[in-house]
Amino acid sequence: MSDEPAPPSRASGRRSVRPSALPRDLMAEGAAAGAWTAHVVTLLPEAFPGPLGLSLTGRALAEGVWALDVTDLRAFGEGRHRAVDDTPAGGGAGMVLRADVGARALDHALGRARGDVPRLLLSPRGRRFGQAMAADLAARDGVLLFCGRFEGVDERLIEHYGLAEVSLGDFVLTGGEIAAQALIDATVRLMPRVLGNQRSAEEESFSSGLLEYPHYTRPADWRGRRIPEVLLSGHHARIAAWRQAEAERLTKERRPDLWRARLAQQGRPEEDREL
């Protein structure tokens, strides 16, 4: 599909609309103060912070626990129409983001980045994002995320900047923005002070190599379904044992791959046959 770039007047008009919860100045403040910063290069700057500006991540953003620095790819486009894409060399459908335009935007974003900031390109071809990568990124000074659009970006941009391709999963989105937001959300929530109760990040799915056990809350009896008795017993050791057993049962049932990896890690691969 061809993309007719919006004329600059319309683009700047759109920029004045602020659907997000936080003014841009506030977003940049934390970056200046040395907070962990997500530098995002995107054709849709108005998509940020989006949901990241709400609830726990939004509060942490406002408090300067992390910061967001958005670079508008369009501002670095070519000519009067600020073109950012062109037809693929060799023919075929769709449009490709230009290397020269992407480079100007990346140089701008990198000029604002401080310290150890991995450069990533959201891409369905990339290494699969997961909890371990989120934990690794949370321990750095920030991350630079280039959001693709259309058919993707000119390969030379990836090579020249050594962009590491990261995928959210085996499906194709229309652009990298939602993937970038998912990556930022999963990373930021691992930082101290973002979740009200730090223990919840340690106990939940994947951190232990197991899926999480089921949760219940009031009412104790809902449409004839009762909360498992053990959870109402007040007996902490029995509750912990029940939760561990449920987590193991669910992981075996739903994610045999995770279960096998866990057994192998514990040096018990022979128990595979249990599955």
- Sites of contact with ligand SAH (CB under 6 A): 122-125, 147-149, 151-152, 167-169, 171-173, 175-176, 179
Nearer to ligand SAH by Cβ, of 107 and 155: the residue is 155
**What is the C-alpha to C-alpha distance for residues 194 and 50, in angstroms, rounded to an integer?**
17
Asked if 67 contacts 25 with a C-beta cutoff of 8 angstroms, the reply is: no
- Shortest CB 176 distance to ligand SAH, Å: 3
**What is the C-alpha to C-alpha distance for residues 177 and 200, in angstroms, rounded to an integer?**
27
Nearer to ligand SAH by Cβ, of 155 and 271: the residue is 155
Nearer to ligand SAH by Cβ, of 37 and 181: the residue is 181
Closest to 68 (Cα-Cα) out of 184, 231, 186: 184
- Shortest CB 171 distance to ligand SAH, Å: 5
CA dihedral angle for residue 139, residue 134, residue 243, residue 265, rounded to 10 degrees? -90
* Summary count for the chain: helices (H), strands (E): 10, 9
Closest to 135 (Cα-Cα) out of 81, 87, 190: 190
- Shortest CB 154 distance to ligand SAH, Å: 11
User: Token pair for residue 50?
Assistant: 């989006």
Q: Give the CA radius of gyration of the chain.
A: 22
Nearer to ligand SAH by Cβ, of 167 and 187: the residue is 167
**What is the C-alpha to C-alpha distance for residues 170 and 156, in angstroms, rounded to an integer?**
24
Q: Which residue is nearest to ligand SAH (CB)?
A: 148
- Shortest CB 7 distance to ligand SAH, Å: 23
Nearer to ligand SAH by Cβ, of 30 and 176: the residue is 176
Nearer to ligand SAH by Cβ, of 22 and 147: the residue is 147
- Shortest CB 245 distance to ligand SAH, Å: 34
- Shortest CB 86 distance to ligand SAH, Å: 15
